[in-house]
Structure 1
Amino acid sequence: MADRLEFRTMTRDEFALAVDWAAREGWNPGKHDADIFWETDPEGYVAACLDGEIVGTGSIVSYSDFGFMGFFIMRPDLRNQGLGTKFWFWRRDTLKARLKPGAAIGMDGVFDMQAWYAKGGFQFTHRNLRMQGVGKSAQPASNLVELSAAPFSEVAAYDQKHFGFAREKFLRRWIEPAEGLALGAVKDGALTGYGVVRACQTGYKIGPLFADDAATAADLFAALSDRACGEPLFLDTPENNPAALALAKANGMQEVFGCARMYYGSVPALPWDNIYGVTTFELG
């Protein structure tokens, strides 16, 4: 059967299938993620086809200097037959060819696949834990502003410092979330943190949440939580930032899911002590 497997890029309509499959896997994508993901890199979504039918999905998104792999899903009835292995290695190598020479590739893989991904050259760095709670009413702190009020160049520079690479095309859409809210923290005229909360198929999800210190992160979290008042609320916290876990637990959140952050090639030097919530498990 592996000999009949073919790989190709997806159309926009076909990408909706990947998002639907992700929802069925319990990954709870954002209601409006698909359009933003697609516009970030229309060539970055691929399919494995068997006799012309899509049986596997995946993303191989390029930020030029950095790549990210996600949406790796094989149709359940075709798993454990070697098809996913062939598709996954094709995705890795195709993404390498799309990037600048020597660029790293990141991924957030489910825990039980961690050893398998390691065989493909990816090294583990830490776990990102999905924490779940309930949005609570809060009065926004006086140092917070809607992110659209801050110069985009400043937002992009702050984001690049914490993400590690420029992603302006993605960022322009992400910080104006439909059914959501994006806030920045300002001190002495400078941005000291920002966060985004967006509507998901179940409840709301905060991501990213970047801040210079724990107090600023707490201010941002409270205001974003208010936008999701009474609804399920999720935050993907890096386990290598104890302050991020403490923030989640202080707000009554509990671990419900998680992924292993892994890299192929050099590991980006990121300020994890200032990362309280990663942006997405799909695009980094």
Structure 2
Amino acid sequence: MHGLILVQFQKFIHRVGGPFAWQLVCRECGLPPKTYLPNQAYSDGETMALVMAASRVFMQAPGDFLEEFGKFLAPELLSFYSDLLDPQWTMFELLERVHQIFHSRVRQEVPGVLPPKLVLKRLGQHRALLTYSSPRNLCRLARGIVVGVGNLHQEYVALRETECTLRGDAQCVFDITLLTDRKKQQVSFARTDMFQIIEATPTDLSLLMLWLSGEGINPRIVYVNILQKMASTDGVVAKLHDQTVGVVWTCRVNPSFGLILAVVVDPEYRFSGIGKSLLEAGLAGLSSQLTGDATIGMDVPASFVPTALKYSFAPSQRIRHMKAFGVPRVLIPDTNVVSATSVPVESIADYDAQCFRMRRDHLIASVLEEVGRLSWVYVDGTAIRGVCVSGHSRNGIRILLLVADTDDIASAPLNRCLANFPSEAVFLDVPVHNSSAVTLAKEFGMVEVYQFNRLYKGVDPRFDYSRIYCVSLNGIL
């Protein structure tokens, strides 16, 4: 296997699962983590072991995982071999030259590598047959790459595999059709009744996470574990020929309130109209779980607002733990958030030393000891991962200190604090140089209030750390 593929595979795992996902994949397949080089060849057995391990870690079928990787891989490969490209090439012109130009370069740079054979046969201006031949049988990867190339060329690709070695055929053949805007509308109406709406599985949830990462959102691998542990979450998926093409995920927060967490459709079927069908299915399922005068919340991008209004949704800023740009923040369950009084002082001192260097290793402890403080600690096993300290002020509740290892961990104790003071104003003094802290405040519906002169505006070497999401200089120092 070409080392460049493994380099990009490691990059894809990191993007989808976060900084520790690659270690999890390597541990799953029994290989020590190592750095792959793009100019080296590696065994196919090692490559497939990593793919199978990743599919288990992300609870995704190997074929689906390879296809999503292919969509990610396409722009990376074209960028790497940009010197061989002509910007004027159409998608079909590019695919016609892959085997002759790109694979010839690969064989020169990395002797011993046997790239797959790709042959394109045109059937017209907007249709062609692509034949894929390789002893590795990675046709799902090839399918993803074709869709990824289409996305780069802003082409809607209708792809059908007429022959496949995995089904016993001698080769894999893809029937590719590029659709014009008018044909997109025709296809959307023709396909709507072909979808099957059924209950989701954990595999569908991991596919949802892959789609979100493809849209530039980086859902960490912990998201999958979070939603699985939350017994009040449910999912519905749309299937087309046993392939998942859309997911809606909902959450019953309490008997009278529920959330539409996400409605995501495979980019390949973005014009199918299945998103509305999924939303209706999610609303129906969630409504059946709620009682009395119930409310359902949904955070949507601006482009989806007209659709939301049609379903009687009204704009609201009351849902504090929702992101402002379309995808709700998945809160880490509050079962990990405990009162600071139940945590050993030694553990807090150790976390102090990690968060505040520069002779500030007793800052958290000193804040906790003050009279009238209400504090929460995020505990992962025996380790502290975050601390939130609040206190009363003349104008309401002030968060005096919020430190955490990640954005999602920071949101959990902060959400617990807000839940304890539902009718009072809450103030958060965030370091403006920490963009994550500013984003976190906005996600909880907070607005800037300069009149109190409490915003931390300068870069202070004592507090210039990514873990610090809030520090009230007037209330602490």
Question: The TM-score by the shorter chain falls in which range?
Answer: 0.5 to 0.7
Paired residue secondary structure (1:98)? coil
Partners of 2:456 and 2:288 in 1: CA distance: 44
Q: Specify which of 390, 394, 397 is matched with residue 185 of structure 1.
A: 390
The yes-or-no answer on 1:60 pairing with 2:250 is yes
- Structure number with greater CO (CA < 8 Å, separation at least 6) is 1
The yes-or-no answer on 1:237 pairing with 2:449 is no
Partners of 1:10 and 1:96 in 2: CA distance: 17
Q: Which has the higher helix share?
A: 2
Amino acid at match of 2:282: R
Change in Cα spacing, 1:205 to 1:12, as seen in structure 2 (3 Å) is same
The yes-or-no answer on 1:45 pairing with 2:235 is yes
Change in Cα spacing, 1:42 to 1:7, as seen in structure 2 (3 Å) is farther
Tell me the number of residue pairs that the alignment of Structure 1 and Structure 2 aligns. 212
Q: Which has the higher strand share?
A: 1
Partners of 2:219 and 2:405 in 1: CA distance: 10
Q: Structure 1: which 5+ runs fail to align?
A: 131-135, 156-173, 253-275, 278-284
The yes-or-no answer on 1:81 pairing with 2:272 is yes
TM-score, normalization by structure 2: 0.37
Amino acid at match of 2:367: N
Is contact 2:378–2:409 with CA below 8 Å preserved after alignment?
Answer: no
Paired residue secondary structure (1:48)? strand
CA deviations over 1:231-268 (Å, ceiling 9, x no partner): 9664251586324799998558xxxxxxxxxxxxxxxx
Q: Specify which of 263, 266, 269 is matched with residue 72 of structure 1.
A: 263
Amino acid at match of 1:121: S
CA deviations over 1:191-238 (Å, ceiling 9, x no partner): 9758574537xxx774253566666x22xx56xx9xxx9996642515
Is contact 1:195–1:207 with CA below 8 Å preserved after alignment?
Answer: no
Alignment partner, residue 406 of structure 2? 199
The yes-or-no answer on 1:93 pairing with 2:281 is no
Partners of 1:5 and 1:54 in 2: CA distance: 10
Q: How does 1:214-229 map to 2 (within 5 A)?
A: 217-218=428-429, 221=430
The yes-or-no answer on 1:143 pairing with 2:350 is no
Q: Structure 2: which 5+ runs fail to align?
A: 1-190, 326-354, 419-423, 459-468, 471-477
The yes-or-no answer on 1:105 pairing with 2:312 is no
Partners of 1:41 and 1:52 in 2: CA distance: 26
**How far off is 1:128 after superposition?**
5.3
Change in Cα spacing, 1:231 to 1:129, as seen in structure 2 (3 Å) is closer
- Let me know the Cα RMSD of the aligned residues: 4.4
Is contact 1:46–1:58 with CA below 8 Å preserved after alignment?
Answer: yes
Find the structure with the greater CA-based Rg. Answer: 2
Alignment partner, residue 81 of structure 2? none
TM-score, normalization by structure 1: 0.58
Partners of 2:240 and 2:250 in 1: CA distance: 20
Amino acid at match of 2:199: T
